[in-house]
Amino acid sequence: MKITRDQIKLMQLQSQGLLSHLSKPAQKDDVITTIRKIELLQIDTIHVVARSPYFVLWSRLGNYSPIWLEEFHTEGLLFEYWAHAACFIPIEQFPLFRSKMTSALAGWRNSEIWRDNNKDIIEFVLARIKEKGPTRSADFEGKGSKKNGWWDWKEEKIALEFLWTHGELMIAYRDKFQRYYDLPERVYPGYNQTMIPHDEAIKEQVERTIRVLGASRLNWISDYYRLSKVETLRIIKELIREQKVMTINSKEWNEDILVHHSHAELLDNALSNRLKPKLTTLLSPFDPLIWDRKRSLDLFEFDYSIECYLPANKRKFGYFCLPILFNGNLVGRVDAKANRQKKTFEIKSIHFEKDFVVNSQFKNDFCKMLLSCANWHQTPIVVLSENIPMTIKEALEPLLN
């Protein structure tokens, strides 16, 4: 028996919490359950719509309270560190990252040279936090020069980043999305007792990735935690020998597809065509379903890139386009902006994939989802821009009023 691309797709959607709606309104515990399900929640500061970590959760939970994420962070169930990128990570994964924090793998190139040349700044920052408790970068006056090539960061900000990356500080919480740094033993009392050796930590991260992807090609795995491809391949062979990972022939690709042993029932449901996609939603550009653009292209045949870093005249789809998930496929993208003062949720552009047909089911589900998203942003009026083709506006506007 061979597994098809569509069956792999549905297994991944189920594993990522994107196959169907919650059966009841989201509760606070659903936030931490969802983060544990996807393993990593990438952090990004762009907020033309809700910042990415909040939006990724909305895509799965619907209209939940964003403060729940902040509360779990403050309560110590989440920590921040570099994984796929800067991420919120469930605290039980902390031992997997300790060996990295204390190794040469942590920090930027020549960071130890920077430490040697800036011991006074580091000592000053640590003493200040030890005395004052949780502290923002903004709480430092800027004793050093900003002429350092670090986006003109003051020296204290660089010291904070250095100490955090090397595990000598942790981020205790955020307030208005500003980081508050504190000593690790005050943030996480078990800090000094928790370290898994590097090889074991990487092996567990590879296994977690195979589980979170549901079903995976080999070349999709290393990106999730940004691991070495060579090391990842070696570990996958070990996991197969240990029967923690099984393989199944692929219909579309001349290779075996990897499935974690805990997904035996999910695999059976996929092969028996019992997985039915029911969720219509928008995705953050930093959603783990699509943050590996090569995987998105392989699996969904969806060629996606974020354009906010391009000059306006070079953008094809818009500043911050959100992919549209419908019936288990990525069918288009929406460039949206939450105008919080005006209380409007502006749809600046909509682009559909060339083979996608807008039918009545899509129109109803899409507009219902847009209204829900707008209400969650507290911008309840959905406005379609003049740039949207008239045929699309005429089809959608009656359902948005």
List the domain boundaries for the chain.
28-193, 305-401
What digits encode the pLDDT tens for the residues 128-175? 999 999 999 999 986 555 555 544 578 999 999 999 999 999 999 999
Asked if residue 383 lies in contact with residue 371, where contact means CB atoms within 8 angstroms, the answer is no
- 337 strand-pairing partners: 346
Tell me how far apart the alpha carbons of residues 185 and 194 are, in angstroms, rounded to a whole number: 12
Asked if residue 332 lies in contact with residue 356, where contact means CB atoms within 8 angstroms, the answer is yes
Please give the helix or strand (H or E) that residue 53 lies within, else none: helix 52-61
Tell me how far apart the alpha carbons of residues 118 and 108 are, in angstroms, rounded to a whole number: 15
pLDDT of residue 125: 96
Asked if residue 285 lies in contact with residue 294, where contact means CB atoms within 8 angstroms, the answer is no
* Residue 80: closest CA among 185, 188, 199: 188
Is 360 strand, coil or helix? helix
pLDDT surpasses 90 at 257: yes
Out of 5-9, 50-54, 98-102, 245-249, least confident range: 98-102
∠ Cα 319 302 272 (to 5°): 140
What digits encode the pLDDT tens for the residues 271-298? 999 999 999 999 999 999 999 999 999 9
Q: Grade residue 193 by pLDDT with cuts at 50, 70 and 90.
A: confident
Where do the H-state alpha helices sit in 92-248? 94-101, 111-117, 119-132, 155-165, 184-187, 198-212, 229-241
What digits encode the pLDDT tens for the residues 67-105? 999 999 999 999 999 999 999 999 999 999 999 998 866
What digits encode the pLDDT tens for the residues 305-348? 999 999 999 999 999 999 999 999 999 999 999 999 999 999 99
Residue with tokens 């807008």: 358
* Residue 206: closest CA among 249, 262, 244, 241: 244
pLDDT of residue 59: 98
pLDDT of residue 195: 87
What are residue 358's phi and psi, to 5 degrees?
-75, 110
pLDDT of residue 41: 98
Tell me how far apart the alpha carbons of residues 356 and 301 are, in angstroms, rounded to a whole number: 12
∠ Cα 319 47 16 (to 5°): 90
Q: Identify the DSSP state of 85.
A: S
* Residue 107: closest CA among 53, 160, 179, 39: 160
pLDDT of residue 296: 97
Please give the helix or strand (H or E) that residue 170 lies within, else none: strand 170-175
What digits encode the pLDDT tens for the residues 20-69? 999 999 999 999 999 999 999 999 999 999 999 999 999 999 999 999 99
What digits encode the pLDDT tens for the residues 205-238? 999 999 999 999 999 999 999 999 999 999 999 9
- Reading the block at residue 194, the tokens are 């928790």
CA trace torsion 77, 82, 83, 89 (10° rounding):
10
**Side chain identity at residue 338, one-letter code:** A
Cα 381 → chain centroid = 28
pLDDT of residue 148: 52
Percent of the chain with pLDDT over 70: 97
More confident residue, 150 or 300: 300
Tell me how far apart the alpha carbons of residues 180 and 129 are, in angstroms, rounded to a whole number: 10
